[in-house]
Structure 1
Amino acid sequence: MANLIRITHCDDPAIAPYRNVRERDLAGRQKLFVAEGTVVLNVLLTSGRHAVHSLFLLENRLAGLADLLAKVPDGVPVYVADRTIMDEVAGFPIHRGVLALGYRETGQTAPAFPAGRSLVMGLVGIANHDNMGSLFRNAAAFGVDAILMDETCCDPLYRKAIRVSVGAALKLPSMTIGPASEMIARLRAEAYTIYATSPSAGLVLEDAPRAERVALLFGAEGDGLPDDILTETDGLRIGMAADFDSLNVAAASAIALHHFRKTAD
């Protein structure tokens, strides 16, 4: 049974990590991240990738959360409060009434790439959290085994990125691997065929062979992938209208990943 702890005062030190959620988004939470909403909480509780620190729930949501509460590990506190206290602590209205804190992985190591058929995503310069969350969501939908990010990418465990990813950021193996050149070297060592997406590439997506091991690289909107990456890898573009050559990076990733997908039709 979940360890329910009722909170009756906004200044209760037990819920200090939940105070001023938006300000903490910017200042950082050291080794913790925030999961928001029932869908994301379910991924946190079931994926097994991150240990759970605590839950903070609106009391009138409890009856509808029985199945989720049954998944909470023993010893994890579940703080419960009314709307006034919860909103005061968080610093803004928590409409979903469901928050949780998870622990970031420490001593992060590169994902273990599977033998045989594999699909990997590499991200360079993705600085927008909405895009980051959407990229993770698409990767999960199309069977990506791991996501590698260069050092200029934003944090995929930022609260908004997790929410937009619908929890995929908590499920998929991922890591920041340093400069993009290091990412490419690692992918080559693992025998991946590397495609760098660019509207100026000669090879059109539908003509790209489905190699057994594929890594798709995506860059930031506007700047795209750096020139040195494009010269070191095979370019790949999505065919589109002659008078338009650009898609949102999340939309582009969904189209490209679908072509190379590992999921069943």
Structure 2
Amino acid sequence: MFEPIAIDDPDDPRLAAYRFVRERDLVGRQGRFIVEGEVTLRLLFSFSARFAAESVLLAPERWAGLSDLFAQRAGRPPVYLAGRDVMSAVAGFPIHRGVLAVGLRGAEPAPAALIPPAPAPALVVGLVGLTNHDNVGGLFRNAAAFGADAVWLDAETCDPLYRKAIRVSAGAALTMPFARAASGSALLDLAERHALTPLALTPGGDETLDALEPPSRALLLLGTEGPGLPDAVMARARCLRIAMAVGFDSLNVATAGAIALHHLAGRRLAG
């Protein structure tokens, strides 16, 4: 029978990977990432092809409700039980849910490996220069909700496995296939090679989204709020805007992305 390990010392070296995760998350964790909450922990265990749990840290009262994750499981990670005061001292912020885990990233896939080959339908979200973790998490949630095949990110877009991005994504950052390319231009090169129509969402677009007949294979490009997509990227894409009330021309990028994805995925959702 699998037994968790009780720890009552916040300086216990077995908890080193959890130490001050709020600060360390910002600079990367040597192939590790932090998961918090029961929903995301269960997703981490369910999608083990790319990600794995290195260890789990629980408040003692959470063990009974989560012990099923470790029953009859080969290669089970260690589970540490610590009071919330110990967990909070280790993590560097108050732990309310009583559930943390250290995940391992696994190998980074090639972007092209994540989408069906032409001529099969495909819908990809391309993020260019997005450095806000809330927006990236929200867009991953939208991509999952509307059935996108993958998310491609340029080198400047922040890490979707940042603790807050995972939480805002409702765990979709762990389930939505994603990969990186060097730049927005590299994303467009991928689109060209794999017969994806590049669609750039911008308030200055020549066409309105609602008038677009969704292409069978599309790459929806989204840029950071304020500056938006680079001119060089928009010059190689079909530029679309969302029709709005007179005097207003912008939305939060995650909201705009949700509207665009709903339009582009309409047929596959109806089917």
Give TM-score, length-normalised by structure 1: 0.95
Deviation at 1:170, TM superposition (A): 1.1
What secondary structure, in the 3-state scheme, does the structure 2 residue paired with 1:153 have?
coil
1:66 aligns with: 67
In structure 2, do the counterparts of structure 1 residues 2 and 147 end up closer, same or farther at CA, with 3 Å as the change threshold?
farther
State the AA in 2 paired with 1:158: Y
Taking the aligned partners of 1:221 and 1:173, their CA distance within structure 2 comes to 24
How does 1:6-17 map onto structure 2 within 5 Å? 6-17=6-17
2:228 aligns with: 224
The RMSD of aligned alpha carbons is 1.6
Q: Is the 8 A contact 1:198 1:225 kept in 2?
A: yes
Taking the aligned partners of 2:110 and 2:41, their CA distance within structure 1 comes to 25
1:79 aligns with: 80
Taking the aligned partners of 1:264 and 1:42, their CA distance within structure 2 comes to 29
In structure 2, do the counterparts of structure 1 residues 72 and 34 end up closer, same or farther at CA, with 3 Å as the change threshold?
farther
**What are structure 2's unaligned runs of at least 5 residues?**
none
Q: Which of these residues, 168, 193, 196, is aligned with residue 172 of structure 2?
A: 168
1:130 aligns with: 134
Out of 182-191 and 20-29, give the one that drifted further. Answer: 20-29
1:5 aligns with: 5
Taking the aligned partners of 2:233 and 2:73, their CA distance within structure 1 comes to 44
| Alignment partner of 1:260 is 2:264 | yes
1:98 aligns with: 99
In structure 2, do the counterparts of structure 1 residues 218 and 33 end up closer, same or farther at CA, with 3 Å as the change threshold?
same
In structure 2, do the counterparts of structure 1 residues 71 and 24 end up closer, same or farther at CA, with 3 Å as the change threshold?
farther
2:31 aligns with: 31
How does 1:223-242 map onto structure 2 within 5 Å? 223-242=227-246
Taking the aligned partners of 1:31 and 1:11, their CA distance within structure 2 comes to 22
Taking the aligned partners of 1:169 and 1:25, their CA distance within structure 2 comes to 15
Taking the aligned partners of 1:3 and 1:16, their CA distance within structure 2 comes to 21
Give TM-score, length-normalised by structure 2: 0.93
Deviation at 1:264, TM superposition (A): 4.2
| Alignment partner of 1:45 is 2:51 | no
Count of aligned positions: 265
Deviation at 1:74, TM superposition (A): 3.0
Q: Which of these residues, 196, 202, 206, is aligned with residue 200 of structure 2?
A: 196
Q: Is the 8 A contact 1:2 1:78 kept in 2?
A: no
Deviation at 1:137, TM superposition (A): 0.4
In structure 2, do the counterparts of structure 1 residues 118 and 25 end up closer, same or farther at CA, with 3 Å as the change threshold?
same
Deviation at 1:84, TM superposition (A): 2.1
1:118 aligns with: 122
Q: Is the 8 A contact 1:20 1:90 kept in 2?
A: yes
1:21 aligns with: 21
In structure 2, do the counterparts of structure 1 residues 63 and 79 end up closer, same or farther at CA, with 3 Å as the change threshold?
same
